[in-house]
Amino acid sequence: QVQLVESGGGLVQTGGSLKLSCTSSGTIFRITVMGWYRQVPGKQRELVATAESGGTTNYADSVKGRFTISRDNAKNTVSLQMNSLRPEDTAVYYCYLRQVRWPDTREHWGKGTLVTVSS
């Protein structure tokens, strides 16, 4: 069982910044990917940013240049620095972890943290 706990969400004005953090606990084998997704009511969950174990990062086009993902492989944590926030960034942000215990791959999600950007 893996638990992911997000923190750092809240209310911020347009142009402001927030930093999300995610800690993991439980039975973890080999993590391949950690990252962040977000979801707005009535829409599908979408990728925000991911960080692979080898160091490769991936960002949604809408956040490139504004958001930065960082990952601590030793602590199995991931954070998301969000700058120049826009009202369209308002969503529930979910921490994501993918791990491998060969031959199985398992995905885990946090419960989410709400980010609200006011105009």
Nearest to 63 by CA among 31, 42, 35, 43: 35
Whole-number pLDDT of residue 5: 97
The SS3 call for residue 19 is strand
* SS3 state of residue 16: coil
pLDDT tens digits along 11-51: 999 999 999 999 999 988 899 999 999 999 999 999 999 99
Q: And the tokens for 74?
A: 């030793």
* pLDDT value of position 83: 98
Q: What is the pLDDT of residues 65-112, one digit of tens each?
A: 999 999 999 999 999 999 999 999 999 999 999 999 889 999 999 999
